[in-house]
């Protein structure tokens, strides 16, 4: 009996051998020697079967192994720098657990729709696994960052009345006799909690019923949204710098192998350290106009504008103080230029575009109410939100970082649909 081991831990079993349990990634037969690469989720190991050392039945079984069949393999273990994973197993026992006939994803080019239709299997491929591991590590980094700084995690509701940001579409839900909508943001709830706990964050799925089919849109995506009492816009920007730098550093520290699998050039990530450069919105418009973009003061920035602005910098860049009309109702007016609000968008370098939107919040009851009315939002849904300005109002700021866009930038991949285990897009609810 060989002791069962994760592939990652095979180094502990050079003396006694081991059994590993996993899925067949590749098989190659060279005359009387066969090489079977097995994956178990913790690593991969090359298993070598020598015909004269095993029974005829086992040798026969090896010939019949197919892509993604599940197996238990046991034998002697030795380090081998040339072997994928760094260890090689000399197979003495082999059990086929689950066959795999005509596995749909073969080692050839498949169209993206085909791959998305088979997402439940596509996740097993090495690049997709690397992406998901980076995502998982980034998520842990997010929690650790806030936990270490004594933020209270507050899970904001998904099912809401018609309260939201305005703008992007809402998904309606039949909620017993009422009409509910899926939350576009947790921020408004986070503001209520900031008065109880000082510093809070939420991190969960958010929903936008936008008919966009760009490579930067999902209908369901994850967003982390801290909210901090007494922070002004300046404090808010510093928190963003620290936060983004922390996440990138963790990925570099813990996901080297994954970034290598993805052929990510890590030099640009190593430059991500505070402070980040800042551009005033008006300055950004001037630069874009000089470069021939058709844009005028007052417009929101589009993806091509963001790419051009970010090009001039070797780390993420803040665009600050947008015109009121281009932004959500809850942002605080800029006292130095009342046409604008105290806000920032953070653009990732290398053309990855906006990963954060942040702002100081309007803390004056009457101004906030006026903005809600100006934007034609359903006033009665915002009653409780307005009450936060009636009972001990306070300066506060926060931001939202889009997880999938951030992971796309860190992993160096163009499409955010690969950044979430089961992407939801226009026309895609399956699997």
Looking at residue 318, what DSSP letter applies? E
State the virtual CA torsion across 218, 219, 222, 224 in degrees, nearest 10: 100
For residues 86 and 79, is the Cβ–Cβ distance under 8 A? Answer: yes
Smallest separation, CB 280 to a copy of itself (Å) = 28
Report the b/e string of 115-133 with b at 16+ CB within 10 A: bbbbbebbebeeebebbbb
Query: How many other CB atoms sit within 10 Å of the CB of residue 85?
Result: 18
What sign does the dihedral 404-408-409-411 (CA atoms) show? positive
Smallest separation, CB 24 to a copy of itself (Å) = 8
Smallest separation, CB 425 to a copy of itself (Å) = 10
Smallest separation, CB 368 to a copy of itself (Å) = 13
What sign does the dihedral 365-366-371-375 (CA atoms) show? positive
206 vs 359, beta carbon nearer a copy of itself:
206
175 vs 297, beta carbon nearer a copy of itself:
175
- Separation of alpha carbons 292 and 52, rounded Å: 72
90 vs 381, beta carbon nearer a copy of itself:
381
Pairing relationship of beta strands 278-280 and 317-320 according to DSSP bridges: parallel
177 vs 294, beta carbon nearer a copy of itself:
177
33 vs 196, beta carbon nearer a copy of itself:
196
Smallest separation, CB 42 to a copy of itself (Å) = 6
114 vs 175, beta carbon nearer a copy of itself:
175
48 vs 121, beta carbon nearer a copy of itself:
121
Smallest separation, CB 73 to a copy of itself (Å) = 13
- Separation of alpha carbons 44 and 38, rounded Å: 5
Name the CA radius of gyration of the chain, rounded.
26
Report the b/e string of 59-74 with b at 16+ CB within 10 A: bebbeebebbbbbbbb
């Amino acid at each position: 009996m060989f002791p069962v081991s994760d592939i990652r831990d095979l180094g502990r079993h050079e003396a006694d051998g081991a059994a590993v349990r996993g899925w067949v990634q590749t098989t190659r037969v060279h005359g009387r020697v066969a090489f079977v690469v097995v994956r178990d989720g913790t690593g991969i190991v090359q298993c070598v079967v020598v015909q004269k050392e095993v029974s005829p039945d086992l040798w026969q079984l090896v010939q019949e192994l197919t892509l993604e069949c599940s197996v238990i393999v046991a034998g002697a273990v030795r380090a081998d720098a040339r072997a994928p994973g760094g260890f090689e197993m000399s197979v003495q026992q082999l059990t086929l657990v689950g066959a795999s006939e005509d596995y749909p994803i073969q080692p050839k080019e498949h169209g993206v729709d085909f791959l998305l239709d088979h997402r439940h299997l596509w996740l097993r491929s090495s690049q997709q696994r690397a992406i998901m591991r980076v995502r998982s590590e980034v998520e842990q980094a997010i929690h650790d960052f806030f936990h270490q700084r004594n933020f209270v995690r507050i899970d904001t509701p998904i099912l809401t009345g018609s309260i939201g940001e305005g703008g992007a579409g809402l998904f309606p839900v039949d909620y017993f006799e009422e009409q509910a909508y899926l939350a576009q943001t947790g921020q408004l709830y986070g503001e209520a909690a900031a008065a109880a706990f000082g510093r809070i964050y939420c991190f969960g799925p958010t929903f936008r019923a936008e008919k966009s089919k760009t490579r930067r849109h999902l209908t369901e995506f994850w967003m982390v949204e801290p909210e901090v009492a007494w922070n002004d816009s300046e404090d808010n920007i510093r928190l963003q710098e620290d936060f983004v730098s922390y996440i990138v550093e963790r990925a570099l520290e813990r996901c080297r192998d994954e970034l290598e699998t993805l052929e990510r050039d890590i030099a640009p990530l190593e430059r991500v350290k505070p402070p980040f450069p800042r551009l005033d919105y008006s300055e950004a418009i001037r630069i874009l106009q000089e470069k021939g973009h058709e844009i005028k003061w007052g417009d929101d920035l589009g993806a091509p504008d963001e790419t051009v602005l970010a090009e001039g910098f070797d780390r993420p860049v803040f665009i600050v103080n947008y015109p009121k009309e281009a932004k959500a109702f809850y942002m605080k007016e800029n006292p130095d230029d009342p046409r604008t609000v105290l806000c920032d968008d953070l653009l990732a370098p290398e053309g990855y575009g906006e990963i954060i939107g942040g702002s100081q919040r309007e803390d004056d009851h009457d101004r906030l109410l006026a903005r809600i009315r100006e934007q034609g939002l359903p006033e009665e849904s915002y009653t409780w939100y307005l009450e936060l300005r009636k009972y001990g109002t306070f300066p506060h700021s926060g931001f939202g970082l889009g997880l999938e866009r951030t992971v796309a930038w860190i992993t160096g991949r163009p499409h955010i649909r690969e950044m979430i285990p089961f992407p939801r897009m226009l026309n895609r609810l399956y699997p």
